[in-house]
Chains A and B, each alone.
Chain A
Amino acid sequence: MTHPRLQLEGITKRYPGALANDSVSLTVMPGEIHAVLGENGAGKSTLMKVIYGAVRPDAGVVRWNGAPVQVRSPHEARAHGISMVFQHFSLFDTLTVAENVLLGLDRTVNLRAVIDGIRDKAGEYGLDIDPLRPVHTLSVGERQRVEIVRALLTDPRLLILDEPTSVLTPHAVERLFVTLRRLADTGCSILYISHKLDEIRALCHRCTVLRGGRVSGVVDPTRETTASLSRLMIGAEPPRLEHRAGTGGEIALRVHDLTLAPREPFGVALENVALEVRAGEVAGIAGVSGNGQRELLAAISGEDRRAQARAIELLGQPVGAASPRARRGIGLHFVPEERLGRGAVPSMSLADNLLLTRDDRELLGAFGWIRRRARDAMAARIIRRFGVKAGGPQAPVRSLSGGNLQKYIVGREIDARPRVLVLSQPTWGVDVGAAAQIRGEILALRDAGCAVLVVSEDFDELFELTDRLYVIARGRLSPPLPTARASPQQVGEWMSGLWAGAASA
Chain B
Amino acid sequence: MLRLEARQTASRLMSALSPVIAVAITVLVAAALFVALGRDPVRGLAVFLVEPLANRYALTELALKATPLVLCAIGLSLCFRANVWNIGAEGQFLLGAIAGGGVALWATVNVGVLPRPALVPLVLVAGMLGGAGWAAITALLRDRFNANEILVSLMLVYVAQLLLSYLVFGPWKDPQGYNFPQTRSFDAAAMLPLLVPQSRLHVGALIALALVAATWVLMFRTFAGFQLQVGGVAPLAARYAGFPARRALWSAMLLSGGFAGLAGAMEAAGPLGQLTPNVSTGYGFTAIIVAFVGRLHPVGCVLSGLLLSMFVIGGELSQSRLGLPSALTGVFEGLLLFSLLACDTLVHYRVRFGRG
Give chain A's interface residues, CB within 8 Å of chain B: 15-16, 72-73, 301-303, 323-328, 334, 336, 338, 341-348, 352, 355-357, 359, 364, 367-370, 372, 396, 398-399
Contacts and interface: CB of A to CB of B under 8 A. Distances in A.
A301 B240 contact: yes
A356 B241 contact: yes
A328 B242 contact: yes
Contact of A342 (B234, B242, B243): B234
Nearest to A340: B234
A400 B10 CA distance: 14
Given A15-B8, A324-B240, A396-B9, A364 B223 contact: yes
A306 to B, nearest CB: 13
A126 B239 CA distance: 36
A443 to B, nearest CB: 25
B226 interface: yes
Given A342-B236, A346-B233, 4 more contacts: A73-B356, A303-B240, A342-B237, A370-B222
B224 interface: yes
A393 to B, nearest CB: 15
A399 B223 CA distance: 24
A344 B237 CA distance: 6
Contacts of B243: 325
A58 to B, nearest CB: 14
Contacts of B244: 323
Interface in B206-226: 221-224, 226
A342 B356 contact: no
Contacts of B234: 341-342, 345-346
A474 B170 CA distance: 67
8 closest A-B pairs by CB: A324-B242, A368-B223, A325-B242, A356-B241, A342-B236, A323-B242, A345-B234, A368-B222
A53 to B, nearest CB: 11
Contacts of A396: 9-10
Nearest to A345: B234
A328 B241 CA distance: 9
Contact of A343 (B8, B9, B222, B237): B237
B237 A341 contact: yes
B9 A370 contact: no
Contact of B233 (A326, A342, A345): A345
Contacts of A327: 242
B266 interface: no
Contact of A334 (B222, B226, B236, B240): B240
A321 to B, nearest CB: 13
Nearest to A355: B226
A16 B350 CA distance: 13
A271 B244 CA distance: 28
A338 B222 contact: no
Contacts of A355: 223, 226
B230 interface: yes
A347 B233 contact: yes
B226 A352 contact: yes
13 contacts: A73-B356, A303-B239, A324-B242, A325-B242, A343-B237, A345-B233, A355-B223, A355-B226, A357-B241, A370-B221, A372-B221, A396-B9, A399-B8
Contact of B10 (A15, A347, A369): A347
B236 A341 contact: yes
A338 B236 contact: yes
Contacts of A328: 242
A325 B240 CA distance: 9
A326 B241 CA distance: 10
A474 B102 CA distance: 63
B237 A399 contact: no
A73 B236 CA distance: 33
A469 B171 CA distance: 76
Interface in B1-45: 8-10
A371 to B, nearest CB: 10
A420 to B, nearest CB: 16
A324 B237 CA distance: 11
Contacts of A370: 221-223, 226
A328 B222 CA distance: 20
Given A325-B242, A356-B230, A396-B9, A345 B223 contact: no
A356 B234 CA distance: 11
A346 B234 CA distance: 8
B104 to A, nearest CB: 33
A356 B223 contact: no
A348 B228 CA distance: 13
A372 B236 CA distance: 24
B227 to A, nearest CB: 8
Q: Residue among A348, A364, A399 with the most chain B CB within 10 A?
A: A348
Contacts of B239: 303, 324
A369 B244 CA distance: 18
A15 B242 CA distance: 38
A350 B10 CA distance: 16
B230 to A, nearest CB: 6
A354 to B, nearest CB: 10
A396 B15 CA distance: 15
B356 A72 contact: yes
A328 B242 CA distance: 10
B233 A368 contact: no
Nearest to A17: B8
Nearest to B226: A355
Given A15-B8, A73-B356, A359 B223 contact: yes
Contacts of B224: 368
A424 to B, nearest CB: 11
Contacts of A369: 221-223
Contacts of B221: 369-370, 372
